[in-house]
Amino acid sequence: MTYKIPATQPDLPVELVDHILSFLQEDPKTLSVCMSVNILFCRLAQKHFCRILRLQNIPKYHPDGPEPPRILKLLTGSPHLTTYVRTVRIVFSLLSLLQRISHFPTYESHMASILQMLVNVKEVNIGWKRPNVMPWKTLPSTFRSAFCVFLRRQSITSLGIDYLSGFPLSILNDCASLRSLSLIGGFSFSSDGAKSQNNSRAQLERFNLNSIMENSSSSVTAWFESPGSPDLSTVTFLCAKTSFLEDHHHITRLLQMTRSLNVLELEFGREICTYYNPFAADAATAHIPLPVNLLLASLTKLRHLKISAVFSSTTDFFVSSDGETAHEQTVYRHPVSWIVRLLAPLGEHKHLEQIDFHFGLEMTPHVVRNHVPWKDLSTVLLSIQGLKKVRMAYIPIKRPLSQKKELIEVFNSDEHLSRLVKAGLLEISQL
């Protein structure tokens, strides 16, 4: 039975209806319902539905909007709707064992056909449903080819790649119109066959990097150092998460390629954070320095710096040389000593106006009060000439309510932090 859309017209002005529907662009399911209200609603809702296309490779048990076959039918029947598409979000999910046995249908071919029809897209995001990571080569070759051709659209200015492994960065060499790039996952680069067909390089303004797979950051760095890759010298915003020690070295090399950086956000993984042992007999072993400096002082245009890290403590047991007596040794792993060394060269930086700290606390209030060197951090913050505002936000992790309340008192009562608060330089908040 074919449903016929009513021809009745709403009492509201067309412009007002169109404005109301514009707030539903993130709600494809509701827009689908609006398409069946009447002819006017159908025409207006289709336009807003197509602003953001969501494509998933397998059917959902509870879909939040039309799936790729229906979208392809809609765009094929009304080609003018393709001109309204501005954002494409592609999500891949893994078939369950039962679905594979029953030859469950997938939509990669429909998605490839849809991409070929789009001409005015500005933002693209492709990724694997978290927390899994999907190898790029497991996707059908027809889809991979269609996606590579699609990326060469001159209208595309923003690209996000999430939780894919082995993604070949060289296919982005021809994306000269890119202004924003986000790389989360694992990536590969080979100089063989990496020649660009376009003489102009993409002038990036925003770059986000999170190499969640080991040895991936080296591929990203090698790619940016190769001809035809996007130009980092024009980047004004950079966000980087360092998960491994090797990431720290490659982030330094990437920062050296920038010339216009205004905002830098750094998140240190657990392997990056230094070890601090308050009971160490030898002071030289109390702070184990990292061999690499991020060279922040060379970022002369930097105005805003954000640092995220986790305070944690672990208890280790070791056996004495006689092999009989077990000793307990508490090792506190935290980023403050490292942050102090990181900020120390910025004393004469005249343009850095704001620093934001986001700390996760896996320590007890006693440890935070007695073993975190807030004095050193306060001293280095006061030494930065152009600094106007410091915001410190912390979130207790796996702490009972009583300790959360006690942590508030710890931060409020620390004499070194209080001095910065009274001076109007520091704001402290618990998330």
Q: What is the predicted pLDDT for the residue at 169?
A: 94
In terms of domains, do 63 and 129 share one? Answer: yes
DSSP state of 415: H
Answer yes or no: is 413 within a domain.
no
Answer yes or no: is 148 within a domain.
yes
Phi then psi dihedrals of residue 240, to 5 deg: -140, 135
Q: Which domain holds residue 103?
A: 51-156
Q: What interhelical angle do 68-77 and 108-117 show, nearest 10?
A: 30
Answer yes or no: is 21 within a domain.
yes
Q: What is the predicted pLDDT for the residue at 380?
A: 92
In terms of domains, do 55 and 16 share one? Answer: no
Write the secondary structure of 174-223 as one string of H (helix), E (strand) and C (coil).
CCCCCCEEEEEEEEECCCCCCCCCCCCCCECCEEEEEECCCCHHHHHHHH
Q: Which residues contact 65 (CB under 8 A, 6 or more apart)?
A: 28, 29, 31, 32, 49, 54
Residue 166: which region, alpha, beta or left (left: phi > 0; alpha: psi -120 to 50)?
left
In terms of domains, do 130 and 71 share one? Answer: yes
In terms of domains, do 125 and 41 share one? Answer: no
Phi then psi dihedrals of residue 363, to 5 deg: -110, 155
| Residues 205/180, Cβ–Cβ less than 8 Å | yes
Q: What is the predicted pLDDT for the residue at 102?
A: 62
Look at 27 and 262; give whichever has higher pLDDT. 262
Indicate the pairing of strand 304-319 with strand 326-334. antiparallel
Segment 226-255 shows an average pLDDT of 88
32 pLDDT tier (thresholds 50, 70, 90):
confident
DSSP state of 4: P
Q: Which of 193-202, 270-279, 328-337 has the highest mean pLDDT?
A: 193-202
Look at 270 and 223; give whichever has higher pLDDT. 223
In terms of domains, do 121 and 35 share one? Answer: no
Answer yes or no: is 316 within a domain.
no
Q: In whole angstroms, how far apart are CA 2 and each of 5, 35, 43, 303?
A: 10, 15, 18, 60
Q: What is the predicted pLDDT for the residue at 7?
A: 55
In terms of domains, do 43 and 96 share one? Answer: no
pTM of the model: 0.83
Q: Of 18, 33, 49, which residue sits at a domain end?
A: 49
- The Cα–Cα gap between 247 and 30 comes to 43
Instruction: Give the residues across from 363 on adjacent strands.
Output: none
CA 219 to chain centroid: 18
Residue 252 has pLDDT above 60, yes or no: yes
In terms of domains, do 91 and 130 share one? Answer: yes
Answer yes or no: is 17 within a domain.
yes
Segment 15-25 shows an average pLDDT of 80
Answer yes or no: is 23 within a domain.
yes
In terms of domains, do 146 and 63 share one? Answer: yes
287 pLDDT tier (thresholds 50, 70, 90):
very low
Average pLDDT, the chain: 81
In terms of domains, do 88 and 29 share one? Answer: no
Each residue of 89-145: pLDDT tens digit? 998 887 654 565 566 778 899 999 999 999 999 999 998 876 667 889 988 899 999
Q: Which of 190-199, 250-259, 320-329 has the highest mean pLDDT?
A: 250-259
Q: What is the predicted pLDDT for the residue at 103?
A: 67
78 pLDDT tier (thresholds 50, 70, 90):
confident
Q: What is the predicted pLDDT for the residue at 198?
A: 59
Each residue of 34-55: pLDDT tens digit? 777 777 777 788 787 788 888 9
In terms of domains, do 36 and 73 share one? Answer: no
Residue 331 has pLDDT above 80, yes or no: no
Q: Of 111, 131, 156, which residue sits at a domain end?
A: 156
DSSP state of 35: T
Place of tokens 């042992």: 277
Each residue of 297-310: pLDDT tens digit? 889 999 999 999 88
Q: What is the predicted pLDDT for the residue at 120?
A: 92
Q: What is the predicted pLDDT for the residue at 195?
A: 58
65 pLDDT tier (thresholds 50, 70, 90):
low
Each residue of 165-223: pLDDT tens digit? 889 999 999 899 999 999 998 899 987 655 555 568 899 999 999 877 767 888 999 99
Q: What is the predicted pLDDT for the residue at 122?
A: 95
Of the candidates 187, 292, 297, the residue with the CA atom closest to the CA atom of residue 246: 292
Answer yes or no: is 45 within a domain.
yes
Domains of the chain: total: 2
Answer yes or no: is 351 within a domain.
no
In terms of domains, do 95 and 143 share one? Answer: yes
In terms of domains, do 32 and 96 share one? Answer: no
Q: Of 156, 171, 198, which residue sits at a domain end?
A: 156
Q: What is the predicted pLDDT for the residue at 182?
A: 95
